[in-house]
């Protein structure tokens, strides 16, 4: 049986690409399903649809950019038309949502269409990333499937928030860096930063990757080549980001609703405003409410309830809202169970095995360290407030760690561990789906 299966796969080398298309289609279908829900009966207007979690900020900011006024009492109601009142983040994602509103009207499709598209691009990007790291098509398909099945990514690829807009360019940017295209990689990082500034951590991923490569190859020429490659990406990111922010400022000038005026100073002034805002987001007495420490994310501590609809016992402000829904900010537990030991094995291989370290595992380790450690340092040094959903940009490193571990298990024990892990990941995706009633 196994021989016939291998023979079939060998004759159909395009099969991983066909299955990737199936994974993307199934993921898109799962995210598109009930896209307009939850909604207040009789659900006739945009205001009847319930905004989910931070959509309350970004959708309303997009409405203002598009020349519409948010409903009274909502965020940014009363802001001048055409500006971006959510000036603590760059404008790109909100401009995309605003453009969708102008094309399709003020409703759930417009609010969430960009997330659907960028979420699908991110899944394809995981396949490209593994292939760019020298991995085979089947590990690449596995990484893409893990992203498609992860609850945290499924939810953020369905709602109108900023994270997935930053994530997709990051993934393709790292893939380009691996393919020896540092200039284009920097451009992609700048595009991601134009959606949400945390995409800058892709540059940290580049730096960590170059350091890990030096463990395998310590020649001076390798150091010089890596330094030039990294410096090119940093320079390209800086130039492209300044140009993009200058352009975005013309399309949707940043506006400070607290001060009641536009943020001046051009692109540099906007950067100062964003940094100043971030500097004040601290928790000197420890995390409060839905906030948590970064190291707690690795065990899914304090999942965030983005929205909970129980028609039988509605919460305040949610009377008459249907159907039952449970939007949880939660990393898939089976993925975490695979990824953490996978990253530990990758770290051991990188430090002690060196030349034998697998490149895909190395990239996964670099991604994890480059995106996760900054959150840890910010929390330890400046008591920066942090939330579990910050893991959205960290997750590709975990997917690669999980794929690396499964590859090692398959080499030692055969395909059974892969099938068992796949069943667990798929089962978690079903159980955690937002419209599956919880017990």
Determine contact, residues 96/75, Cβ cutoff 8 Å. no
In whole angstroms, give the CA distance from residue 175 to residue 177. Answer: 5
Which one, of 337, 386, 322, lies nearest residue 37 by Cα? Answer: 322
Contact status, residue 49 vs residue 123, Cβ threshold 8 Å: no
Kindly tell me if the per-residue pLDDT of 2 is higher than 50. Answer: no
Q: Which residues contact 228 (CB under 8 A, 6 or more apart)?
A: none
Q: Among residues of the chain, what percentage have pLDDT more than 90?
A: 82
For position 344, what pLDDT does the model report?
95
At 287-299, the pLDDT tens digits run 999 999 999 999 9
Instruction: Find the range with the poorest average confidence among 21-30, 315-324, 368-377, 378-387.
Output: 315-324
* Best CA proximity match to 425, nearest among 84, 89, 153: 153
- Angle at which helices 333-348 and 416-431 cross, to 10°: 140
Q: What is the pLDDT of residues 78-119, one digit of tens each?
A: 899 999 999 999 999 999 999 999 999 999 999 999 999 999
User: Averaged over 324-352, what is the pLDDT?
Assistant: 93
């Amino acid at each position: 049986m196994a021989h016939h299966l291998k023979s079939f796969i060998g004759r159909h080398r395009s099969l991983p690409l066909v299955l990737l298309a199936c994974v993307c289609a199934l993921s898109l279908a799962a995210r598109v399903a009930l896209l307009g829900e939850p909604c207040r009966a009789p659900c006739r207007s945009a205001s009847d649809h319930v905004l989910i979690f931070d959509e309350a900020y970004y959708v309303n900011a997009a409405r203002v950019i598009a020349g519409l006024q948010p409903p009274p009492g909502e965020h940014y109601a009363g802001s001048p038309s055409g500006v971006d009142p959510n000036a603590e983040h760059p404008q790109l994602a909100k401009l995309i949502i605003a453009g969708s509103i102008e094309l399709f009207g003020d409703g759930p499709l417009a609010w969430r269409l960009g997330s659907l598209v960028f979420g699908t691009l991110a899944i394809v990007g995981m396949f490209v990333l593994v292939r760019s790291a020298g991995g085979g098509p089947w590990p690449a398909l596995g990484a893409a499937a893990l992203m498609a099945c992860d609850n945290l990514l499924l939810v953020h690829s369905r709602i109108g928030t900023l994270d997935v807009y930053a994530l997709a360019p990051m993934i393709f940017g790292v893939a380009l860096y691996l393919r020896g295209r540092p200039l284009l990689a920097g451009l992609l990082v700048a595009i991601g930063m134009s959606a949400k500034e945390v995409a800058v951590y892709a540059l940290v991923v580049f730096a960590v990757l170059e350091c890990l490569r030096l463990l395998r190859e310590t020649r001076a020429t390798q150091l010089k080549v890596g330094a030039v490659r990294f410096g090119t990406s940093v320079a390209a990111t800086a130039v492209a980001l300044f140009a993009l922010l200058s352009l975005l400022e013309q399309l949707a000038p940043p506006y400070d609703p607290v001060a009641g005026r536009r943020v001046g100073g051009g692109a540099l002034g906007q950067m100062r405003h964003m940094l100043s805002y971030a500097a004040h987001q601290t928790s000197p007495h420890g995390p409060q409410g839905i906030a948590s420490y970064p190291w707690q994310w690795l065990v899914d501590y304090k999942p965030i309830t983005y929205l909970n609809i129980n028609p039988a016992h509605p919460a305040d402000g949610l009377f008459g809202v249907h159907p039952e829904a449970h939007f949880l900010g939660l990393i898939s537990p089976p993925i975490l169970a695979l990824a953490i030991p996978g990253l530990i094995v990758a770290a051991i291989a990188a430090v002690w095995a060196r030349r034998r370290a697998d490149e895909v595992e190395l990239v996964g380790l670099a991604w994890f360290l480059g995106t996760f450690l900054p959150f840890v340092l910010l929390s330890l040094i400046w008591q920066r407030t942090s939330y579990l959903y910050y893991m959205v940009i960290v997750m590709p490193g975990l997917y690669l760690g999980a794929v690396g571990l499964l590859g090692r298990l398959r080499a030692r024990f055969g395909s059974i561990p892969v099938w068992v892990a796949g069943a667990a990941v798929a089962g978690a995706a079903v159980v955690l789906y937002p419209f599956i009633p919880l017990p």
